[in-house]
Amino acid sequence: MRTIDAALSLLKPGLRVFVHAGPSEPRALREAIARDPERARGVDFLGAFIPGLNATDYSALAPDARVTATFITPALSEGFAAGRVRMLPKSYSGFARWLADNPPDIAILRVAPPGPDGRMSFGLNQDYAPIAARHARAIIALVDENMPQVVGEPGLESARCAALVEVAEDLTPFPAAPPSGTLAKVGANAATLIRDGDTIQIGIGKVQSAVLANLFDRRDLGLHSGMIDDAIAALAEKSVLNNRRKSRDAGLSVTGMAIGTRKCWDYAMDANVRFRAADYTHSATIIGAQENFCAINSALEVDLFGQCNAELLNGRQVSGAGGFHDFQRGALAAPGGRCIVALPSSAGATSRIVARLDNPIVTGPRNDVDCIVTEHGVARLRDLDVDARAQALIAVAAPEHRGALADQWRDLRKTL
């Protein structure tokens, strides 16, 4: 075993270094760089840093350091504006392919202590860690006694590691606030689209948790998702989510990471939970083979064509595509599949149903839109023509904005 400071002697200017992110981001790495910034001079740190969960900008910790990321988190926004952070516009599955095709020089992974087979589990986040481990030229393993030993991708062998470092870090909790008010109404409306026996997917966020809060009267739900949270664990605890009817991975909850509190972490260690890398969880082929698959995601705004923006707020990049498009396309390919995009109809005095997106970035294209849900109802768009789509979306907009949207559509329609 080495100290983290000794292990970081492997870092050199110009190297590309993958960093375990999400619930597995290692604080020991950040603290070691802060103690001696010269160790990370000129390093490009790669990762899928999650908004709201990961709060480190590695490009700000050392001279000439850079970050390559698929999400722009609040912590990365200043570095992105300054040009120190490079944003890759990749879906989750796209970043998995990119990582395999562009191997990092070093992968820094926070893992569990060796299990009975001698391998170290990739722990609570297995979206990209196994891919980075397969392809990186060297691995620094931070062996954390607090990291759960979960069942998933084949773990890491110590012989594969250039350095092993013992750490003991508390797991980072990410509790979800109970839904109320408008979000509760959005969740209740979206839940009407979910049937007994469906296999569901959720993204991170309050809206998705609000949907799950309305599913306790369902039977035999399954899970194939990029993540689990406390709300998923609660459904499993009541046997609402039991995976009995899944057409693929029957009996198993399949996920990439666990974001929540102790309830979620305990469920992550359940014998019927399997953690898989993003090239499995976000594969459109795998998703499309799952009968009655229902994707549940959110967006910042939706225009009257059905185009979804889940990345830009007031023209600024505040997130990334994530798994939005992967699950949208997979759900539409699945027999009996559905894709739900749920959002409040307005933010303050601003409508989130808009005539057309004001920015050039579209997270979810109109060709793949299915069901848009607000607190005012459900707009089923999949088989509607452009005029019927606009009418359906205006009907679920906030009442005070419907007249203006109808006028804007009338003017916009003349230009088509």
**Domains detected in the chain:** 4-167 (3.40.1080.10), 181-414 (3.40.1080.20)
User: What's the confidence (pLDDT) of residue 367?
Assistant: 94
Phi-psi domain of 249 (left: phi exceeds 0; alpha: psi -120 through 50; beta: other): left
User: What's the confidence (pLDDT) of residue 360?
Assistant: 85
Beta-carbon contacts of residue 377 (< 8 Å; ≥ 6 apart): 189, 395, 396
Rounded to a whole number of angstroms, the distance between the first and last alpha carbons of the chain is 66
Tell me the residue ranges of DSSP E strands in 182-320.
199-202, 222-223, 227-228, 253-255, 257-258, 273-275, 293-298, 301-303, 308-309, 312-313, 316-317
User: What's the confidence (pLDDT) of residue 1?
Assistant: 77
DSSP track, 206-246: HHHHHHHTT-TT--SBEEB-SEE-HHHHHHHHTTSB--TT-
User: Which SS3 state, helix, strand or coil, does residue 341 take?
Assistant: strand
d(CA 90, CA 325): 10
The model scores a pTM over 0.85: yes
* pLDDT tens track, the chain, 416 positions: 789 999 999 999 999 999 999 999 999 999 999 999 999 999 999 999 999 899 999 999 999 999 999 999 999 999 999 999 999 999 999 999 999 999 999 999 999 999 999 999 999 999 999 999 999 999 999 999 999 999 999 999 999 999 999 999 999 999 887 888 999 999 999 999 999 999 999 988 889 989 999 999 999 999 999 999 999 999 999 999 999 999 999 999 999 999 999 999 999 999 999 999 999 999 999 999 999 999 999 999 999 999 999 999 988 889 999 999 999 999 999 999 999 999 999 999 999 999 999 888 899 999 999 999 999 999 999 999 999 999 999 999 999 999 999 999 999 999 99
Which tokens hold the place of 188?
């209740």
User: What's the confidence (pLDDT) of residue 359?
Assistant: 84
